[in-house]
Amino acid sequence: MKKVFILLFGVIVLVSVFLQIQSTVSAQSIEGIPSKYEKEINYLIDEEIIFGYPDQSFRPKNDVSRQEAATMIGRALDLDNKQRNTVFTDVDSYHYGSGYIDSAVDKGIITGYPDGTFRPNKTITRGEMAALISRAFTLNGHQDLSFNDVSPSNPFYPYVDDVASANVTTGYPDGTFKPNRVITREEFSLLVARSMNSEYRSQQDQNDNQNQQEEDLKVIDEKIVTADSLNVRSGPGTSNDVVGTLSTASAVSVYKKDGGWAYVAKGNVEGWVSAYYLIDKPRSSHVIALDPGHGGNDPGAAANGLLEKEVVLDVGKIAEEYLEDAGLEVFMTRDTDIYHTLDNRVRLATDNKADAFVSIHANAFPDSSVNGVETFYSAAGLSNRAYSSLKLSQFINERLVKEMNMTNRGVKEAGYRVIKATSLPSALTEIGFLTNKSDADKLKQVHYREAAARAISLGVVDYYNWEENN
Residue-level pLDDT, tens digit, the chain, 470 residues:
444 433 333 433 333 334 444 434 455 578 888 877 788 888 888 888 888 888 888 888 888 888 899 998 999 999 999 999 999 999 998 888 899 999 999 999 988 888 999 998 888 888 898 899 889 888 766 666 678 888 888 888 888 888 888 888 777 777 788 888 888 888 888 888 888 888 887 544 455 455 555 555 688 899 999 988 899 998 888 888 888 899 888 889 998 888 899 999 887 788 899 999 999 999 889 999 999 999 999 999 999 999 999 999 999 999 999 999 888 999 999 999 999 999 999 999 999 999 999 999 999 999 999 999 999 999 988 889 999 999 999 999 999 999 999 999 999 999 999 999 999 999 999 999 999 999 999 999 999 999 999 999 999 999 999 999 98
In one-letter notation, the amino acid at residue 248 is: T
Cα-to-chain-centroid distance, residue 262: 7
**CA separation for the pair 324, 310 (Å, rounded):** 22
Topology match between the domains 221-280 and 287-468: no
CB atoms inside a 10 Å sphere around CB 21: 10
Q: How many helices (H) and strands (E) does the chain have?
A: 14, 15
pTM of the model: 0.66
For the chain, give every domain's residue range: 2-64+123-216, 221-280, 287-468
Which DSSP state fits 233? E
Cα-to-chain-centroid distance, residue 205: 30
Cα-to-chain-centroid distance, residue 399: 21
Tell the CATH superfamily of the 221-280 domain.
SH3 Domains (2.30.30.40)
Grouping H, G, I as helix, E, B as strand and the rest as coil, residue 85 is coil
**CA separation for the pair 185, 331 (Å, rounded):** 47
DSSP H or E run through 245 = strand 242-247
* Residue 396: closest CA among 414, 379, 386, 408: 408
Bridge partners for 291 per DSSP: 359
Contacts of residue 326, Cβ cutoff 8 Å, sequence gap at least 6: 224, 249, 251, 281, 282, 457, 461
Percentages of the chain per state (helix, strand, coil), in multiples of 5: 40, 20, 40
In one-letter notation, the amino acid at residue 276 is: Y
Write out the CATH class of domain 287-468: alpha beta
